[in-house]
C-alpha cells in the first residue's frame, strides 16, 4: 500500500512543534523520542507501519483544541487514534504527522438512567461503558470483538458494530451526541440526549467519518436495559448454501434474533483444534441467539428451530445451561485466534444483501482456488456483514500483494451484488482505492466537498478513506 | 413571519421559464396560470400563504433533474413539496420560486422480503408503503398522524416520526438509501440495501434536511414483519406530574412499549365532547401500547400495570377486545380535530428529556396564564416529543403574534432543559429564527457550510431552516 512521502517542511519544524506542544500539555503527554514514537507506528492492520513525528496524549477537550490549533497553525497533519485496534489501518500514522491519542480521556461524565443515556470521554473502552452501568442492569449495545480494548472514539470513527448489532444496530444507532474539535481548534456540539434537533443533522456524517472531520472528545450514548436472559442454538449444515438459505428464511420470517453468526468448514476445523468447543464436523455452522424472558425465548426459539429443521440440519443443539451457552460461544470467540495459528491472515469486511449469501460464499470459494490462497469465513450473517479471512505467509515475497488482490476482488464482488465495501471496520488505507468501485465520481466529489468544509487543508487523518491521488490533490489545493 | 421580497429579475423570466419547462415536461405537469398556482400557496401551516411563480409535477428522476437544471441555469429558487402536510411551513413557496411537487412519482420500484426492504418513488404516501407489503405481513414503521396523505419525500425531509417511533425509531432509523437530485441536476445515490458504506455517510444529513440539499426522488426503506398482536392500556391520573413520573418509571424499568401517548385535561375534555371515546374525566391520561405474541404482551403489560399502580391511577383500563382497543385509540386520534372545533390552534413540536416532563408541563401551564391563551397537550411522551396546541383566534388582531411569542417561549424552554426545537415537524419557516437558541454560531456556521456544498447559490427551499438574515446573506453571496 503506497503511502505519500512526508512533507520535508513539516519534518523540519519538529523542534518548534515539540516546543509549542509542551506549552499546552504536560511533558509526559508529548512523546517525541524516536524510539518511543515507535509504539504508535501501527494499529491492528500490522502489515503497514510508520512511526509518527510526535505522539500526544491530551486529557481534556481543551487540550485537544490547543493541540489542533497548533498543528493547524503550523500545517502539521494529525492522525486521531482511539486504542489502535483498527483492522483497516484507520490509525496508521504518516511520518510527518502528530498522532493524537485519546487514551487518557476515559472518564464517565454523566449517567442518566431516567433518560437512558451515558456521557463519556471517548478514550473510554467500549466494555467499560457497560461496566459503568451494569450495576443498574443497563448495558451499551455495540459489541465489537475488540470491545475489551477498543475506545468509543474509534467506535464512532468507524461506526463499529459487533455480533449483537442485528438487533441493536451499530454505533450510529446508539450515538446521540458528541463534542468534537475541528482542525482549527473550534469546539462544536452535535446532537444531545434527545431526538434529532432541527437544521442539518451532522451527527450521522460524523459517525463513521474515520477522523476526517474532527476529533470527537466526548459522546452521549444510548444505554439499554439488560434482557432477562439469552440462549444460543447451534446449527450444523452440510453446505454453505443451505446455511445461507436458513439465515435468509429466519430474517424473512420476521423473527429478530440478537445474533446470527456463521462459520464455514475451514474455520470450524481450526477453531475445534484450537479451542475444543465440541463443534460437529460439518460444512457450515450457525449460532443463533435470542434474548428476553423465558416465555419470549421459548417462543422465538420455537419458530427458529422449526425453520432450521426444514433445511435438514446435521446438528441442532439448543443450549440447556449457562455452561453450554458459554461453550457454544467459545468457538466463535476463538475463531480469529484459531485462524492466526494456521497462518497470517487478512480479515476483510464487506456487506451484502442477506439473500446473496449462498452465491457470494460460492464465488469466494472459487476465487480461493484461483488465487491459491486459503480462506475461512466467520461473520455476522444476520445483517450480511461478511469477514472472509484470507490466509497468506507474510514471509513469502509476493504473498501479501496476492492476498490484497484477492481481497479487492472479494470486496468488488460485494459491491456488485448490491452490498458495500465495509460493514464495521471502515475504509482506512486498506480500501481507499476501492472507493471508486463503490461510488460514482459525483458521489465521491460531494463527500470530499463536505470534508473541505470541516478540514479545508486536508490535515486530518491524511491519505485515508478517499483514493490516494484524490486526497493528495485536494491537500495540495 | 417575514418573507423575503421576490427577486424581480426572476419574476421577469417567467415566460422564458415556462417555455423551457414545457420542453422537458408534458403540458399538464407545468402549472403556471395564476389561479391554478394558488393550489400550492400553503401547506398545513395555513397561517402563511404565498402562491409560487410556477408549479411542476415531474414523474421521474430524469424529469426532476431536467427541471432543476433549468432552474439552476436561470437562478430560480425551487421549493420541493411532498403532499403539503408540513406543520412548520416546510413547503411554503416564495413568490419567485418553482414548487416541485413529487405527487405523480408514486410507484413501488422493488419489494424484497428476503432483505426486508422496499424501494419506492418518494411521492408515494406513507400508508401506501405499508399497503404495498401488508399482504405478506410486513409494514413500514414510521407513522405520522398524517400518514394517509403525507409523502415519503416529506417524511425524509422532516425526519418524521409518529406514535410508534418509541420502539421503531423515526424516519432516519428506517431509511437505507436514496436517489437524490442536486440543484444543478446531478443525480447522486446515497446508501442502499445494506449497512452504512465506507466514506462519509451523507444519508444521515440528507434525512431531515428539509429540502435544503437536494430533491430525493427514490428511497430504499426498511420494512418490518408485523407483530402478532398489540394491546393498549388506558391510564388516568389526577395530575400531569404523576402521569409524567409514571412515563419516566416505565422507561427507567427498561420495558419498551411501542407507544406512550399523553393527553392533559383540556385535550381529554375536548376529545370526549367531540368523539365520545369514554375517557374518564381526570387531569392526565396515558395510552400505553405493547406488541408481540400473547405471552409477550401479557408479560410486558404485567410490568407496566405494576408500575402504574404505584402511582395511584384514577383509572386503569386494559383493553380486552379489538373494539375496546379501537375505542381507546379513537380519542387520541381525534384529539387534533377536537381541539380545532374549539378554536384555531398552533401545534408546537419540541423534544425534551423524558425526566423533564413534569417540570415542562407545569411551566407551560404558567405561561398559558401569563399569555392568556389556552393550551392543550397531546403528545408522544415515551420519547419526550411534545406537541402543545396553543389556542388562538385568527380573526382577532394580534392573537397570532401573541401565539407565536408563546410558542417561541415554549420551544426555548425545551432547549433550556436539554431538549431541542423539533421532534418530527422540522424547522421550516416556523422555527428558523429560534435556531440561534439551539445552536452556537460555530454550530450553525458549519451547517450552512455543508448547505453551501450541495447548493452553493442557496436556491433550494429558500428562507427556511436557517435564520432569515443568515440565509439571505448567504444567497447574496
Q: Is the backbone of residue A312 left (phi > 0), alpha (psi -120 to 50) or beta?
A: left
Question: From the list B115, B190, B442, which residue is nearest A188 (CB)?
Answer: B442
Substitution target in B141, B193, B194 with the highest count of A β-carbons within 10 Å is B194
pLDDT at residue A477 is higher than 80: no
How many Å separate Cα B324 from the centre of its chain?
Answer: 29
pLDDT at residue B128 is higher than 90: yes
pLDDT at residue A216 is higher than 70: yes
Closest CA to A291 of A232, A241, A237, A250: A232
Q: How confident is the model at residue A475 (pLDDT cuts 50, 70, 90)?
A: confident
Q: With H, G, I as helix, E, B as strand and everything else as coil, classify residue B427.
A: coil
- Please state, in angstroms and rounded to a whole number, the distance separating the CA atoms of residues A25 and A58: 7
- Residues of A with Cβ-Cβ distance to B169 under 8 angstroms: 173
Question: From the list A114, A186, A252, which residue is nearest B248 (CB)?
Answer: A114
Q: How confident is the model at residue A23 (pLDDT cuts 50, 70, 90)?
A: very high
The dihedral sign for the CA sequence B178, B183, B187, B190:
negative
- Please state, in angstroms and rounded to a whole number, the distance separating the CA atoms of residues A360 and A330: 27
Contact of B157 with B40, CB cutoff 8 Å: no
Give how far B83 is from chain A: nearest CA, Å.
20
Q: How many CA atoms lie within 13 A of A131 on its CB side?
A: 11
Q: What is the pLDDT of residue B255?
A: 84
Contact of B156 with B207, CB cutoff 8 Å: yes
Of chain B residues 183-202, which have a CB less than 8 A from chain A?
186-190, 192-202
Q: pLDDT tens across B15-47, in order?
A: 999 999 999 999 999 999 998 999 999 998 888
- Residues of B with Cβ-Cβ distance to A161 under 8 angstroms: 195
Query: Between β-strands A54-56 and A98-101, what pairing exists: parallel, antiparallel or unpaired?
Result: parallel
Task: For A248-309, give the DSSP string.
Answer: HHHHHTT---SEEEEEEHHHHHHHHHHH-----SSSEEEEEEEEESHHHHHHHHHHHHHHHH
Phi, psi angles (nearest 5°) of residue B466: -95, 155
Q: Is the backbone of residue B55 left (phi > 0), alpha (psi -120 to 50) or beta?
A: beta
Q: What is the pLDDT of residue A456?
A: 95
B115 at the A interface (CB within 8 A)? yes
Residue A47, number of CB atoms within 10 A of its CB: 15
Mean pLDDT of A69-98: 95
B294 at the A interface (CB within 8 A)? no
Buried b (16+ CB within 10 A) or exposed e, A124-142: bbbbbbbebbeeeebbbbb
Q: What is the pLDDT of residue B251?
A: 86
Q: How many CA atoms lie within 13 A of A409 on its CB side?
A: 15
Where do the domains of chain A lie?
8-102, 108-225, 230-416
DSSP state of B227: P
Give how far B96 is from chain A: nearest CA, Å.
24
pLDDT at residue B477 is higher than 70: no
Which residue bears the cell 416532563?
Answer: B357
Contact of A126 with A150, CB cutoff 8 Å: yes
- Residues of A with Cβ-Cβ distance to B211 under 8 angstroms: none
Tell me which of 2.130.10.10, 3.40.50.12780, 3.40.50.150, 3.30.465.10 is the CATH number of domain B108-225. 3.30.465.10
Q: How many CB pairs under 8 A join A and B?
A: 243
Buried b (16+ CB within 10 A) or exposed e, A326-337: ebbbbbbbbbbe
B142 at the A interface (CB within 8 A)? no
Nearest CA in chain A to B447: A200
pLDDT at residue A392 is higher than 80: yes
Q: How confident is the model at residue B194 (pLDDT cuts 50, 70, 90)?
A: confident
A74 at the B interface (CB within 8 A)? no
pLDDT at residue A13 is higher than 90: yes
A19 at the B interface (CB within 8 A)? no
Average pLDDT value for chain B: 92
DSSP state of B420: B
Contacts 24+ apart (CB under 8 A), A390-395: A390/A345, A390/A346, A390/A348, A391/A339, A391/A342, A391/A343, A391/A344, A391/A345, A392/A343, A392/A344, A392/A345, A392/A346, A393/A343, A393/A344, A394/A47, A394/A344
Q: Domain spanning A230-416: which CATH class is it, in words?
A: alpha beta
C-alpha Rg value of chain B to the nearest Å = 23
Mean pLDDT of B140-147: 91
C-alpha Rg value of chain A to the nearest Å = 23
ipTM for this model:
0.71
- Please state, in angstroms and rounded to a whole number, the distance separating the CA atoms of residues A161 and A166: 9
Verify whether the Cβ–Cβ distance A159 to B201 is below 8 Å. yes
The dihedral sign for the CA sequence A433, A437, A442, A446:
negative
Domain B8-103 matching CATH 3.30.43.10: the answer reads yes
Q: What is the pLDDT of residue B459?
A: 96
Q: pLDDT tens across A378-390, in order?
A: 999 988 999 999 9
Any idea which architecture B229-416 has in CATH? 3-Layer(aba) Sandwich (3.40)
In this structure, which topology does domain A8-102 adopt according to CATH? 3.30.43
Contact of B116 with B223, CB cutoff 8 Å: yes
Q: How confident is the model at residue A84 (pLDDT cuts 50, 70, 90)?
A: very high
Amino acid at each position: 500500500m503506497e503511502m505519500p512521502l512526508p512533507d520535508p517542511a513539516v519534518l523540519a519544524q519538529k523542534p518548534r512543534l515539540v516546543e509549542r506542544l509542551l506549552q499546552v500539555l504536560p511533558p509526559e503527554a508529548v512523546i517525541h523520542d524516536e524510539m518511543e514514537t515507535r509504539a504508535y507506528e501501527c494499529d491492528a492492520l500490522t502489515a503497514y507501519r510508520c512511526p509518527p513525528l510526535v505522539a500526544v496524549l491530551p486529557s481534556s477537550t481543551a487540550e485537544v483544541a490547543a493541540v489542533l490549533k497548533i498543528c493547524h497553525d503550523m500545517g502539521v497533519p494529525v492522525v486521531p487514534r482511539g486504542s489502535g485496534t483498527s483492522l483497516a489501518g484507520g490509525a496508521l500514522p504518516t511520518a510527518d504527522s502528530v498522532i493524537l491519542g485519546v487514551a487518557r480521556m476515559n472518564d464517565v461524565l454523566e449517567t442518566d438512567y431516567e433518560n437512558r443515556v451515558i456521557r463519556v470521554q471517548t478514550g473510554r473502552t467500549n466494555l467499560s461503558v457497560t461496566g459503568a452501568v451494569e450495576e443498574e442492569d443497563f448495558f451499551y449495545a455495540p459489541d465489537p470483538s475488540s470491545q475489551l480494548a477498543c475506545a468509543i472514539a474509534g467506535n464512532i470513527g468507524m461506526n463499529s458494530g459487533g455480533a449483537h448489532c442485528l438487533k441493536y444496530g451499530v454505533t450510529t444507532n446508539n450515538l446521540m451526541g458528541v463534542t468534537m474539535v475541528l482542525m482549527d481548534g473550534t469546539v462544536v456540539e452535535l446532537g444531545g440526549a434527545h431526538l434529532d434537533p432541527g437544521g442539518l443533522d451532522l451527527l450521522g456524517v460524523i459517525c463513521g467519518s474515520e477522523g476526517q472531520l474532527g476529533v470527537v472528545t466526548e459522546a452521549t450514548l444510548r444505554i439499554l436495559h439488560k434482557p432477562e436472559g439469552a440462549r444460543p442454538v447451534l446449527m450444523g449444515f452440510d453446505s454453505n448454501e443451505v446455511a445461507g438459505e436458513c439465515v435468509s428464511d429466519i430474517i424473512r420470517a420476521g423473527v429478530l434474533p440478537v445474533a446470527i453468526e456463521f462459520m464455514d468448514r475451514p474455520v470450524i476445523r481450526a477453531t475445534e483444534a484450537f479451542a475444543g468447543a465440541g463443534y460437529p464436523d460439518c460444512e457450515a455452522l450457525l449460532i443463533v441467539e435470542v434474548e428476553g424472558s423465558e416465555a419470549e425465548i421459548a417462543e422465538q426459539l420455537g419458530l427458529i428451530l422449526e425453520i432450521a429443521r426444514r433445511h435438514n440440519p446435521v446438528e441442532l443443539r439448543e443450549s440447556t445451561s449457562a455452561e453450554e451457552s458459554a461453550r457454544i460461544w467459545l468457538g466463535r470467540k476463538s475463531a480469529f485466534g484459531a485462524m492466526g495459528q494456521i497462518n497470517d491472515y487478512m480479515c476483510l469486511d464487506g456487506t451484502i444483501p442477506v439473500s446473496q449469501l449462498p452465491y457470494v460464499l460460492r464465488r469466494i470459494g472459487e476465487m480461493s482456488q484461483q488465487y491459491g490462497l486459503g480462506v475461512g469465513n466467520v461473520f455476522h450473517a444476520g445483517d450480511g456483514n461478511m469477514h472472509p479471512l484470507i490466509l497468506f505467509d507474510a514471509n513469502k515475497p509476493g504473498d501479501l500483494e496476492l492476498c490484497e488482490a484477492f481481497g479487492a476482488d472479494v470486496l468488488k464482488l460485494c459491491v456488485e451484488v448490491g452490498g458495500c465495501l465495509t460493514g464495521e471496520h471502515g475504509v482506512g488505507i486498506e480500501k481507499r482505492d476501492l472507493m471508486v468501485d463503490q461510488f460514482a465520481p459525483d458521489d465521491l466529489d460531494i463527500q470530499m466537498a463536505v470534508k473541505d468544509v470541516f478540514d479545508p487543508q486536508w490535515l486530518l487523518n491524511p491519505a485515508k478513506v478517499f483514493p490516494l491521488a484524490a486526497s493528495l490533490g485536494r491537500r495540495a489545493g
